[in-house]
Amino acid sequence: MTRDPRLPGYDDATIEQLVRDVAGEWHMPPVRLDAPGWRERVRSSRTRRLAAAGGWFGRLGQAATAAIALTVVGALVAVVITRPPAPGGMKDSVAPTNSAGAASGSSVNLGTRSK
């Protein structure tokens, strides 16, 4: 809506005086010690107990989840560490065959003992 330009408006001094008058008249309402506060009105005592227990169960759940996760990770690390080496995976450590010596006619047999 637009203001009718023919009507006189409020100037800054008038607005300031109105705000100061309203703020000066306002005071805190009295506190009733025998009546429950807004927290007690919103949440019942049963709801408050369940919320407190939920906090403990939440903490226990986080601890249990962390323990299970660490156990699984530890088991996987143990499997990787104790795994036997793959067959044929260490071809470099096997003694090389002497193909040049076999071609020259040497008769060295490493597999049998001579008496």
Q: Is residue 49 part of a domain?
A: yes
Q: How confident is the model at residue 97 (pLDDT cuts 50, 70, 90)?
A: low
Tens of pLDDT along 56-93? 788 888 999 999 999 999 999 999 999 888 777 655 55
Bigger pLDDT: 43 vs 33: 33
Q: In the predicted model, what is the mean pLDDT of residues 11-15?
A: 89
pTM, two decimal places: 0.34
- Report if residue 47 sits inside a domain: yes
Residue 35 lies in a domain: no
45 within a domain of the structure (yes/no): yes
Q: How far is CA 81 from CA 70, 71, 75, 76, in A?
A: 16, 15, 10, 9
Cα separation of the two ends of the chain: 121
Q: Provide the residue range defining the domain that includes 76.
A: 41-83
User: pLDDT at position 96, please?
Assistant: 54
Question: Is residue 55 included in any domain, yes or no?
Answer: yes
Number of domains in the chain: 1
Do 9 and 3 meet the contact criterion of CB atoms below 8 Å apart? yes
